[in-house]
Amino acid sequence: MRQAQVGQFVVGRVRDLPPGLSRSVRAGGRRIALFNERGKLYAVDEACPHMRADLSNGDLRDGTLTCAWHGWRFDIRTGEGLTRSWARLRTHRLYRKGDELILEMADPSEASGDTGNDPGCPPPGREP
């Protein structure tokens, strides 16, 4: 049984991500969207599972992330797809350590969770 590797990355300073803002960073070979909602920090793989839009451009309100392109919605805390249940986001731990933002990713070398590679899920851009 393969044991999951956890990677930690310094992805910026706390002042770089004030409440109400988001940004995109590269870490572990992947693009990650970072969010600060009223002091709570969140991180998800950047690409929307629908059409691969940059989720850091989305709108985050009360824990619901809405993609800027087509309005698909996700629970930022769990990654659950609220528009389509098969469209989940891969979530990551983001926290403060001193004045640094630390991103923790399980299996950082693994490719982004593209639902199109899962035979039980429709490919991106194809609705069930």
Residues 6 or more apart whose CB falls under 8 angstroms from that of 22 comprise 33, 34, 35, 36, 56, 57, 58, 60
Structure pTM? 0.81
Each residue's pLDDT tens digit, 21-61? 999 999 989 999 999 999 999 999 999 998 999 999 999 99
pLDDT for res 109: 63
pLDDT band of 17, cuts 50, 70, 90 = very high
Q: How far is CA 106 from CA 20, 52, 75, in A?
A: 26, 21, 19
Q: 3.40.50.1220, 3.40.50.2300, 3.40.50.300, 2.102.10.10: which CATH number matches 6-104?
A: 2.102.10.10
Domain ranges of the chain: 6-104
